[in-house]
Amino acid sequence: MNRKELVKQIKSKSSYLCVGLDTDIHKIPSIFRQCDDPIFEFNKMVIDATVDHCVSYKPNIAFYEAEGSKGWESLQKTIEYIPDSHFTIADAKRGDIGNTSNLYAKTFFKTYEFDSVTVAPYMGVDSVTPFLEYLDKWVILLGLTSNTGSQDFQNIESKEGEPLFESVLRKAQEWGSPDNLMFVIGATHPQMFSRIRKIAPNNFLLVPGVGTQGGDLESLSIAGFNDDIGLLVNSSRGIIYAGDKPADIKKAAETLHESMKSLLNEHF
């Protein structure tokens, strides 16, 4: 999916919601564990309940690969079930030397046909560029993450006083463009969004941490919007584990959607 198509979906739905499919087989309702493929059947239910309220789905690959070959089959069926209208994110956090990154890119862009993949920037340009070579595919580079451990390295300051994550944002823009490069910016850092927008004004931001992790949708949205809206705000546990019934999951997604719609009406 290219940028124009993504922006069109966001504006037509008045939603920039991404639903994280962090499907833990030990947390899903017991009725699904009786199925031949519990993970897929649960995901199918979640997708059916949320498809009208979100524009993107983000399977966290760890929950699938932990189940071995059966988990990869569940992932394949999940991706095939997601409508083409929705932007797909492989939350894989890959990144390695060129030959290995080539294979990671092939895995997620050709074998599984995701629209995007999260990538760790630590190993530099040759670990990222193989992912950027695919037409209408996206790299979502880790920038400032929502976990508490993000303080360990991401805010280390250079001699010029610039935090490491800002150096990553600046450097990465030499590798890709706003048409194929997004950044992960955690919702737990709303005070940083205005500063980040000065460094990366045109790139989309994938924003985890709304919901269970306590990120504030309104403050990060107001500071993070650009002319194309420019945000994909993810909620995982806050939606998919909102209750045992499809209606509970639908309500959780609908509530976020309505908040987003209100913000968009106010600012666009």
* pLDDT per residue as tens digits for the range 137-187: 999 999 998 787 877 787 788 777 888 889 999 999 999 999 999 999 998
User: How far, in Å, CA of 266 to CA of 268, rounded?
Assistant: 6
Catalytic residue from among 11, 44, 70, 93: 93
* CA 215 to each of CA 144, 192, 212: distance values in angstroms, whole numbers, following the listed order: 14, 12, 8
Q: Which residues contact 64 (CB under 8 A, 6 or more apart)?
A: 23, 39, 71, 72, 74, 75
Nearest partner of 253 among 225, 233, 223, judged by Cα: 233
User: How far, in Å, CA of 112 to CA of 107, rounded?
Assistant: 6
List of domains in the chain? 3-267 (3.20.20.70)
93 as an active site residue: the answer is yes
Least confident of 74-88, 202-216, 226-240: 202-216
pTM of the model: 0.96
Q: What are the two backbone dihedrals, phi and then psi, of residue 236, each rounded to the nearest 5 degrees?
A: -110, -85
Query: What is the number of other CB atoms lying within 10 angstroms of the CB of residue 219?
Result: 13
52 pLDDT above the threshold of 70: yes
